[in-house]
């Protein structure tokens, strides 16, 4: 099995389903071009049957982007599949993503159907999609809660019908990492024709486990991961692209690699956040405003001695510029001295002691101390610029 992991970005489909995050076609093209520059392998550009604007978006993205595979979502219904194929007509490399429910819960309460009928519908849908495009991905919705034996049966049938990729979504974000990993392993070991398809992981974050579950799936044999910029998506979101790619890059021992140009991550995170009007939480891994900010005295002193005392990722690697030393009432002398040196002040020990005393009073009053405060502080303690 190859160790190359394919990055399938669904920011413009699952991500865009978030209320208030809808983008128009022009905005989607801008994001799609940036995803191409980032190096994603597949862009899920939309759900063409869902609206005329989504159809147009998939069509226009197909024209605007040439490297990644462009994928369109459809239910396992002929009209949906045909519409997806029509929307993808200009794509240089195209994929139809079709599927239906695999858990007994979905079969009974959503489809009001039976296992046997679902198997037939799945096979028919994949065969029809295959008659229109070569690359067909099948999703077994709610696979996270599905019986593994039935799931394996469904996956074997759709691969025989022509599916090139089989997506095993944890649609409700229910699984624990070891359970999800075991499910993927079970498919690797029990689906006779599994070598003819790529297994894809698609995890939701309802319990905050989307990234952990995706990683567990990859470790157990999946080779495609479905994710979004900033982890946006239905409810608590999807697996965050930046997290999964930086985990694989940081833990080279896993032996899994991808082609993402990681220095594009922070700028793209900012672009998506701005366009979708969806702020990124400051403590978000990799792309949060505080991901490389240090504010307590002990950490600041450690980082100033050697960045790797408290950082496992070089912020430059993810396009975040440099680490920042934030001045608060928890900061120490080393941090104050460092920030003053950036402004051109060189203080001897007695001056620094005096400045630090005044600094603590200011920091208690203002919480975050910025450059204006530092200039005032230097005037108060009578120190001029020396560098
Ligand atoms: O979460 C899910 O199951 C999905 C499918 C449509 C792939 O988004
Ligand atoms: Zn999803």
Quick check: is 1 in a domain? no
pLDDT surpasses 60 at 43: yes
Probe residue for ligand 1, chosen from 9, 48, 202 as the CB with the greatest number of ligand atoms within 8 Å: 202
Instruction: State what percent of residues in the chain have pLDDT above 70.
Output: 99
The residue from 276, 303, 327 where one domain ends is: 276
Clarify whether residues 336 and 374 are in a common domain: yes
Quick check: is 311 in a domain? yes
Quick check: is 356 in a domain? yes
Quick check: is 387 in a domain? no
Which residue, judged by its Cα, is nearest atom 8 of ligand 1? 14
Q: What DSSP letter does each residue of 183-234 carry, written as one string?
A: HHHHHHHH-TTGGGSEEEEEEB-TTS-HHHHHHHHHHTT--EEEEBGGG--S
Clarify whether residues 166 and 214 are in a common domain: yes
The residue from 242, 276, 310 where one domain ends is: 276
Quick check: is 79 in a domain? yes
Residues in the chain: 387
DSSP helix/strand/coil, 352: helix
Residue 167 near ligand 1, beta carbon < 6 Å:
yes
Clarify whether residues 322 and 197 are in a common domain: no
Clarify whether residues 266 and 330 are in a common domain: no
Instruction: State what percent of residues in the chain have pLDDT above 90.
Output: 97
Clarify whether residues 84 and 192 are in a common domain: yes
Q: What local confidence, expressed as pLDDT, does residue 385 receive?
A: 77
Q: What local confidence, expressed as pLDDT, does residue 367 receive?
A: 86
Clarify whether residues 269 and 239 are in a common domain: yes
User: For residue 80, how far is its CA from the centre of ligand 1 (angstroms)?
Assistant: 15
Quick check: is 176 in a domain? yes
pTM: 0.96
Query: What's 305's domain CATH number?
Result: 1.10.238
Clarify whether residues 227 and 318 are in a common domain: no
Query: What's 166's domain CATH number?
Result: 3.20.20.70
pLDDT surpasses 90 at 279: yes
Q: Which atom of ligand 1 is nearest to the CA of 13?
A: 8
User: For residue 4, how far is its CA from the centre of ligand 1 (angstroms)?
Assistant: 23
Specify the DSSP element, H or E, that contains 99: strand 94-101
The residue from 248, 276, 304 where one domain ends is: 276
Q: What local confidence, expressed as pLDDT, does residue 384 receive?
A: 85
Report d(CA 315, CA 21) in Å as an integer. 28
pLDDT surpasses 70 at 159: yes
Quick check: is 172 in a domain? yes
Clarify whether residues 237 and 344 are in a common domain: no
Clarify whether residues 16 and 92 are in a common domain: yes
**Count of structural domains, the chain:** 2
Residue 141 near ligand 1, beta carbon < 6 Å:
yes
Q: Which atom of ligand 1 is nearest to the CA of 226?
A: 7
Boundaries of domain holding 318? 293-381
Residue 169 near ligand 1, beta carbon < 6 Å:
yes
Q: What local confidence, expressed as pLDDT, does residue 386 receive?
A: 67
């Amino acid at each position: 099995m190859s160790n190359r992991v394919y990055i399938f970005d669904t920011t413009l489909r699952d991500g865009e389903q978030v209320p208030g995050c809808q983008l128009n076609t022009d905005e989607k093209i801008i994001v799609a071009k940036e995803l191409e520059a980032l190096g994603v392998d597949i862009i899920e550009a939309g759900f063409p049957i869902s609206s005329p604007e989504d159809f147009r978006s998939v069509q226009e993205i197909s024209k605007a982007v040439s490297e990644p595979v462009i994928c369109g979502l459809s239910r396992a219904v002929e009209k949906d599949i045909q519409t997806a194929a029509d929307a993808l007509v200009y794509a240089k490399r195209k994929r139809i993503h079709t599927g239906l429910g695999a858990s007994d819960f979905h079969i009974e309460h959503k489809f009001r159907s039976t296992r046997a009928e679902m198997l037939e519908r799945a096979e028919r849908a994949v065969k029809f999609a295959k008659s229109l495009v070569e690359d067909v991905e099948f999703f077994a919705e709610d696979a996270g809660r599905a019986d593994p034996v039935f799931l394996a049966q469904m996956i074997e049938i759709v691969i025989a019908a022509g599916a090139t990729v089989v997506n095993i979504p944890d649609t409700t974000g229910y699984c624990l990492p070891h359970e999800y990993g075991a499910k993927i392993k079970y498919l690797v070991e029990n689906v006779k024709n599994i070598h003819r398809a790529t297994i894809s992981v698609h995890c939701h974050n309802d319990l905050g486990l989307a990234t952990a579950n995706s990683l567990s799936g990859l470790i157990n044999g999946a080779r495609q991961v479905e994710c979004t910029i900033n982890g946006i998506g239905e409810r608590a979101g999807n697996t965050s692209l930046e997290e999964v790619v930086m985990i694989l890059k940081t833990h080279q021992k896993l032996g899994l690699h991808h082609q993402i140009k990681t220095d594009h991550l922070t700028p793209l995170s900012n672009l998506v956040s701005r366009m979708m009007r969806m702020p990124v939480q400051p403590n978000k891994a990799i792309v949060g405003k505080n991901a490389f900010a240090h504010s307590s005295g002990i950490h600041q002193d450690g980082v100033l001695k050697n960045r790797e005392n408290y950082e496992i990722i070089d912020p430059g690697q993810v396009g975040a510029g440099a680490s920042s030393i934030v001045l608060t009432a928890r900061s120490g002398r080393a941090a104050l001295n460092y920030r003053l040196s950036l402004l051109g002040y060189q203080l001897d020990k007695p001056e620094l002691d005096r400045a630090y005393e005044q600094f603590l009073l200011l920091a208690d009053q203002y919480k975050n101390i910025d450059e204006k405060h530092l200039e005032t502080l230097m005037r108060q303690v009578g120190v001029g610029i020396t560098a």
